[in-house]
Structure 1
Amino acid sequence: MKKEQRSGFIVMARLIGLVRPLGGYMTLAVLLGLLGHLCAAFITILGGYAVLSVLGFALRMPLWALFACAAIFAVLRGVLRYGEQACNHFIAFKLLALIRDKVFRALRRLCPAKLEGRGKGDLISVITSDIELLEVFYAHTISPALIAALFSVIMCLFIGQYHGLLGLLALAAYLTVGVAVPVLTSRFSGADGLHLRTKTGALSSFVLDSLRGLPETQQYGQGSARLAEMNRRTDELAADEARLKRTAGRNSAATGALLLLFDLAMLLASAALYGRQAVGFDGVLIPTLALMSSFGPVVALANLGSTLQNTFAAGNRVLDILEETPVVEDVTGQSETGFAGAAAEGVGFSYGDGPILQGVSLTVPQNEIVGIVGRSGSGKSTLLKLFMRFWQTQSGRITLSGRDVDQINTANLRALEGFVAQETHLFHDSIRNNLRIAKRDATDEEIAAACKKASIHDFILSLPQGYDTPVGELGDTLSGGERQRLGLARAFLHDAPLILLDEPTSNLDSLNEAVILRSLREEGRGKTVVLVSHRESTMRVADRIYSVENGRVS
């Protein structure tokens, strides 16, 4: 899977595009936030007007009205703030759920071709922590940025009514703190955020591998070496995070210094204008108080400068999945087809490191068992994946019932084919639920019948909880042969007319192999079976046998 380095602005634009379904809530959040910040700022400004009233300045409102308005604004500030945060977090968590749904749909489209070789721990990191980090963007970035822009315009107009120069100075202050500081901080951070997220994903993969490989690690005395490597990766991650924290600290210090400088500049500028009689005393007091009380929205943006690097890096990794093009697109809109045999016609295929299959042609007649034998790495398993259309042929074609698989609806193709891989994946669930993945509405009788065909029914009944027995993570409570027979039972339960078996007896001894082969011969009547194996003994049940060597069939 390719990894693209997008700029922060591109990541931001793509993430904002996902907000469209919740545009109404976003508008409400901005409105409530804007009113809330105006209430907060004008509490201080009303205090300034109260001072002017005490000093004898003629005002449009009496002193008691000023205090009443300040009290009302104080209450409204709390209510409006709550409403803004409620809207923002509703948007954030709703979007996180939508993004997770989009990511899982994307993974389903990309699987298996684009996910081969991708660390599972890294994918888990994207699905969990990276998506979770986007909450910062949706809840604390989009609406605060819009609020800061609108609020700054209003405050510039308010201050500017005393003198245009003071309004321009306020505009310069807002732009410097709210735009220049976060942009410069982001540039100074460089790719630190992306490196942190990438290393976090790599550490997750390493930890997951370490947990799965604990028995081997103990057996060969590699615990210390594994621990040392984990500590090294953790230290690197801590160093990257410390670098981001230092950047955030410098950003906070610079922001605080700029606030004081602009407050002082406003005071000096208004005092100078007062000295020239360009403004009255109210033109000194109110603009200075207004600027001092109005930095809240832009300071929130300034503080995002360093944390956004982490968020954009997480967004970039999520977009890598959402915008990745699958190797094989789902086919829809074609007429449905039944099964009447299959074939490979001059098939050529390569993963990019040299040809795997070269001009392979073979026929799979209906209701026959076809064996494909060859040494490991000869392309046997790849051929089955091409029949399943997990990958696209690069030359030649694969057909079912005389139709190119590229012209068969994907759902139709999956219904016609049952595939048992070399390693049967079992979920951390009961045996019954693991089997039902092949047919969600299967009855207990259908499940038992499929298991009998796979010669695993009696074993399951011997377990204390029978079909409700948990299989453990990755099926680690069962032997390889038991997992393999459950995979075969899934294929029987799926009840597809074409069954593709990739080394179905590789984890079985000769006795159990004979039992499975007898089941295939006796219970597979009315089915077409393609049986791949490197064992010559497995081919005893085949009606016809093809040999694959160096990517060619004989």
Structure 2
Amino acid sequence: MQSEQKQTTQVNGSAETKKRRSAISIMGSLIGLVKPLIHIMLAAIVLGTLGYLCAIFLTILAGQVIVHGLLTGVAGMNVPVDNMWLVFTPVKTILIVMVVIAVLRGLLHYVEQYCNHFIAFKLLAIIRHKVFAALRKLCPAKLEGRDKGNLISIITTDIELLEVFYAHTISPIAIATLTSAIMVIFIGRYHALAGLLALAAYLMVGVVIPLWNGKRGSQKGMEFRTEFGELNSFVLDSLRGLDETIQYGQGENRKAQMTERSKKLSGMQKDLSHMEGAQRSFTNMVILLASFGMLTLTIWLYARGAMGFEGILTCTIAMWGSFGPVVALSSLSNNLNQTLASGERVLSLLEETPLVEEIPETGKSIVSVTDRSAGSAENDDVTEQNFTSETDKNSEFAGASAEHVTFAYESETILDDYSLKLEAGKITGIHGASGSGKSTLLKLLMRFWDVNAGNVSVDGADVREIPTKYLRHMESYVTQETHLFHDSIANNIAIAKPGAIREEIMEAAKKASIHDFIMTLPKGYDTEVGELGDTLSGGEKQRIGITRAFLHDVPLLLMDEPTSNLDSLNEGIILKSLKESGKKQTVVLVSHRTSTMNVADVVYEMENGRIS
């Protein structure tokens, strides 16, 4: 099964290095998320456009002052002009207007940036919520065997990179379009040919160059983000296995691998930097050519009498000073490759369909369940009633069964035409060697996976028909590995029952034979366990997992190798607690240890997906 999971991971990994959709499609999907904040986005676009126009016309008015000086004979010249208002407008008035525009430019730019970043950070929070919700739905079946480092990279750096898109991409595109359109009209007022030259220059810098640069760098951007995620995974794996690495003298080997991966990532970044440098050089060349081209064109038009002297100066200054919005748009393509690659990875995760679809609470009003009224533990009559969480939680017994179940991980069959009945109110032991399918059976009862054939029932109802929330209320599952959060022991236990009081937590801990140990700690139940529970031993972590199950207190208790890390004394105490719990619960006890099976009312032997 492990080989199959590795193979799946490799397939997933290779798929993540290739884009499944175009840049336009990715941008369209990301822009769709802005809908709730569209009014703020429109305000940012309007303010940004006005801000750029202020900056552009500040230089244009400076040119008008020069023209005014020429007209009034300061330079001893007398030249024809296109706009006669310059003759009658005092220099003082123009300078006052320039000061007002300069102040407005600063204010408008500040408010525009505030709006853009407000949208960006608001949307990043929304996207994070969506990603975590998607991960919860995909878990555990779709995430089993997945590269956790890559997932962490998506949740952190990939989502963070989307800030560039929302704060520095959407509104700049709209601002560049509006500003360029206004400037084409303004320059075109002097002569149509000047307007057409401006339009061609804006399109070249703001559209053609970014598309060219984006097309040649999109695949490299995706490869870079994927390799970055794999390096994160490698570092995380190395930190977790630091003790083993030192113990077996693999430090130099691990260091060499990390160096090789870092050099590979550095090489990719160098290639992207070369692309960025080439793009900037080409952009600057086009700006210079367009500006000198405008000067040459307007001089030619002036010589033919088609334009006044003011037109030469104004058109050239306007052309030279109006590239700000499209240059910002062109520069986006440098980082946009990585941003879109991150967007692709985030969107792919959000769009990924779970292998097991959850059954919602609403829309599934009638479900077949066994009537579990008093004294009906052995009643096989089936009634139709609505599930309610209180009914499920307070019911005394819940039986379960597997009927002609066939299940496989990919192509490896684990259970083949497997049938088993778990009697309500009894402790059922399932004994067998590792890999015989014991743990898989419990996962099917929890509906972490769906069967390929046959059906799995809990309390008379097919698990595929029970609303997922209520199924979780009916079952408690103790896995072979207990995950502990970087929090206090009390909070780690209370996750099984939100709002549980300290007395309930302590009572459950006593049943799991860990209360006495906790009380010896400096802060007792308020002691923090450290990251991944590293401050505790394997047996202590396992007993905390069992404590959670006792605190959850549900009709059906599933335990997978619950005493594998425990000594005989603690195992005996926990088995005694299980025996007492069996009087009001149905317990399924999976283990390869014969001693654990002594507490069971009935024991089944499992071998290669078969029961005896």
Tell me which interval the TM-score lies in, with the shorter structure as reference length. over 0.9
Q: CA deviation at 1:514?
A: 2.2
For 2:315, give the aligned amino acid: P
Contact (CA 8 Å) 1:159, 1:167: kept in 2 or not?
Answer: yes
User: Which residue of the partner structure matches residue 59 of structure 1?
Assistant: 85
Q: How does 1:219-230 map to 2 (within 5 A)?
A: 219-230=247-258
After the TM superposition, which parts of structure 1 deviate over 4 Å for at least 4 consecutive aligned residues? none
User: Which residue of the partner structure matches residue 152 of structure 1?
Assistant: 180
User: Which residue of the partner structure matches residue 49 of structure 1?
Assistant: 64
Q: How does 1:334-373 map to 2 (within 5 A)?
A: 334=364, 335-336=386-387, 338=392, 340-373=398-431
Is 1:382 matched up with 2:440?
A: yes
Q: How does 1:105-504 map to 2 (within 5 A)?
A: 105-332=133-360, 333=362, 334=364, 335-336=386-387, 338=392, 340-504=398-562
For 1:378, give the aligned amino acid: S
- Greater Cα offset, 110-119 or 148-157: 110-119
Distance 1:419 1:509 in 2: 22
Contact (CA 8 Å) 1:45, 1:286: kept in 2 or not?
Answer: yes
User: Which residue of the partner structure matches residue 10 of structure 1?
Assistant: 25
Q: CA deviation at 1:474?
A: 1.1
**CA RMSD in angstroms, aligned pairs only:** 1.4
SS in 1 for 2:85: coil
For 2:321, give the aligned amino acid: S
Q: CA deviation at 1:305?
A: 1.2
For 2:491, give the aligned amino acid: N
Q: Identity over aligned residues, as a percent?
A: 57
- Greater Cα offset, 504-513 or 51-60: 51-60
Contact (CA 8 Å) 1:431, 1:467: kept in 2 or not?
Answer: yes
For 1:193, give the aligned amino acid: G
Distance 2:535 2:577 in 1: 25
Q: CA deviation at 1:361?
A: 1.1
| Structure 1: stretches of 5+ with no match in the other structure | none
For 2:248, give the aligned amino acid: Y
Q: CA deviation at 1:26?
A: 0.4
Distance 1:340 1:548 in 2: 23
Deviations 1:318-339 (A, max 9, x none): 1121111111122122231636
User: Which residue of the partner structure matches residue 23 of structure 1?
Assistant: 38
User: Which residue of the partner structure matches residue 38 of structure 1?
Assistant: 53
Deviations 1:460-487 (A, max 9, x none): 1122221112212111221111111111
Deviations 1:494-552 (A, max 9, x none): 11111110111111233332222122112442011111111222111111222222222
- Greater Cα offset, 468-477 or 427-436: 468-477
Q: CA deviation at 1:269?
A: 1.4
Q: CA deviation at 1:288?
A: 1.2
For 2:399, give the aligned amino acid: G
Q: CA deviation at 1:443?
A: 0.5
Distance 2:433 2:387 in 1: 37
Contact (CA 8 Å) 1:53, 1:59: kept in 2 or not?
Answer: no
For 2:442, give the aligned amino acid: L
SS in 2 for 1:70: helix
For 1:485, give the aligned amino acid: R
Contact (CA 8 Å) 1:177, 1:302: kept in 2 or not?
Answer: yes
User: Which residue of the partner structure matches residue 105 of structure 2?
Assistant: 77
Q: CA deviation at 1:375?
A: 1.2
Q: CA deviation at 1:283?
A: 2.4
SS in 2 for 1:426: coil
2:563 to 490, 498, 505: 505
Contact (CA 8 Å) 1:399, 1:405: kept in 2 or not?
Answer: yes
SS in 2 for 1:151: helix
Distance 1:205 1:318 in 2: 17
Is 1:544 matched up with 2:559?
A: no
Number of equivalent positions? 554
Contact (CA 8 Å) 1:453, 1:523: kept in 2 or not?
Answer: no
Deviations 1:310-365 (A, max 9, x none): 11111111112111111112212223163631111111111113211111111112
Distance 2:589 2:398 in 1: 18
Q: TM-score, normalised to structure 1's length?
A: 0.98
Distance 2:183 2:319 in 1: 8
For 1:440, give the aligned amino acid: P
Distance 2:546 2:599 in 1: 16
Deviations 1:117-138 (A, max 9, x none): 1222222211111111111111
Distance 2:61 2:286 in 1: 25
Q: CA deviation at 1:50?
A: 2.0
- Greater Cα offset, 445-454 or 530-539: 530-539
| Structure 2: stretches of 5+ with no match in the other structure | 1-11, 72-80, 365-385
Q: CA deviation at 1:490?
A: 0.1
Deviations 1:20-64 (A, max 9, x none): 111111011001100000001011111222222222252264332
Distance 1:20 1:379 in 2: 48
For 1:221, give the aligned amino acid: G
- Greater Cα offset, 49-58 or 348-357: 49-58
For 2:46, give the aligned amino acid: L
Contact (CA 8 Å) 1:455, 1:519: kept in 2 or not?
Answer: no
Distance 1:247 1:448 in 2: 62
Distance 1:121 1:508 in 2: 31
For 1:25, give the aligned amino acid: I
User: Which residue of the partner structure matches residue 3 of structure 2?
Assistant: none
For 2:463, give the aligned amino acid: V
Q: CA deviation at 1:161?
A: 1.0
SS in 1 for 2:50: helix
For 1:368, give the aligned amino acid: K
SS in 2 for 1:114: coil
Deviations 1:398-456 (A, max 9, x none): 11121111111111111110010001111111110100110110001100111111111
SS in 2 for 1:314: helix
Distance 2:256 2:272 in 1: 24
Distance 1:105 1:137 in 2: 22
Q: CA deviation at 1:282?
A: 2.2
Q: CA deviation at 1:306?
A: 1.8
Contact (CA 8 Å) 2:399, 2:423: kept in 1 or not?
Answer: yes
SS in 2 for 1:546: strand
1:94 to 116, 122, 126: 122
